[in-house]
Homo-oligomer: A and B are copies of this chain.
């Protein structure tokens, strides 16, 4: 069964707001086993809205519209949907009562245009709005169900969870379940090459790769009659992927980010961590603190962007900075050694690089970054050449630091050398 999402609103077309309603509805519908092939955004314009709705009801089984149910003249969604579907509207006494109650409760002044919201399609299902005045509407035709939801996210999400999800659940026989295998230290194209045979031969579950900064995610998605049957299809594929990618797999849990994987690895090995950052300027610490409870493992973070701060806070030698420069293997190493001494953390990370746009030279171009990581005194230093603008280089360096940190901890405990990531 297919679903299509249409969000109505000039503020989305102008880019004033990000369309979080579409993302919410899409994720929920996927979880309910509905296939979403199209999303659209259109303004409060009768002709264009008519066209978009007509196209949608011709090609999809369920059409969900959000927005345009307000009391003002601009709000056209219900009127246009009813016109396209050839359904009359009638004033609903119980909706009128709800609106009256809402205004009394909120101590607001009720104006005549509010009664527009009490008009409902004949034979339609009226869905109570517990967070506003515009009720939701479900119109059932032979080949298509059209669902109208209010635009404000707080009203839409609550109404969807309370009433629309249970309604949709009655429509489909199958459910969709997906699992993500998250990789680090490998490029998207190499990852894809390694699973091309699986991608080409698999139809259920399907396999798709997604590139993230410093990571590749492989999503395995199954469609079956129930959750258990989906998981049974997914399990052998995930096992196969884990075998093919070995230590490049950092998690198979949707909720686990790279930083959470690092924090969990630290916790599991009873380790503390400290960071000394130059070009990334706090971004590695900030990533670690994305994880609630990171205070248990993160001892301290230093942002030492200037040479003075590197000397004063980390004890980097003046002679090292003069001889090798702030962006060098030697400086990264001394940052980590100083951090070990001052913070007494088990794992120490030091990052120094040239994020640009200025400051690059032929021998030390913009994008050159050295990352040192020590685990209980055993130090590894890697050299990277990142491309992109200042923001991209810093984001790449931050991800690389987390990946290197994971690698160094694993190597330390397994006594296995991973080698340079590709």
Contact = CB atoms under 8 A, between A and B. Distances in A.
A272 B246 CA distance: 48
Contact of A388 (B114, B130, B288, B313): B130
B187 A16 contact: no
A12 interface: yes
A71 interface: yes
Contact of A15 (B27, B196, B281): B27
B306 A289 contact: no
A14 B37 contact: no
A72 B281 CA distance: 34
A190 B48 contact: no
A172 interface: no
Contact of A108 (B15, B74, B367, B422): B422
A302 B305 contact: no
A267 interface: no
A22 B19 contact: yes
Contacts of A308: 299
A282 interface: yes
Interface residues of A, number: 119
B26 A37 contact: no
B113 A71 contact: no
Interface stretch (A204-212, A230-238, A331-339, A406-414): A204-212
A196 B111 CA distance: 12
A282 B290 contact: no
Contacts of A38: 13, 40-42, 48, 52
A192 B71 contact: yes
A108 B387 CA distance: 12
Given A18-B20, A300-B304, A71 B26 contact: no
A117 to B, nearest CB: 9
A131 B389 contact: yes
B192 A72 contact: yes
A106 B70 contact: no
Nearest to A284: B282
5 contacts: A13-B38, A55-B55, A70-B188, A280-B289, A282-B285
Given A15-B24, A299-B309, 15 more contacts: A14-B208, A18-B23, A38-B42, A39-B42, A72-B188, A108-B187, A111-B193, A130-B387, A130-B388, A130-B389, A281-B286, A282-B303, A286-B286, A289-B305, A301-B303
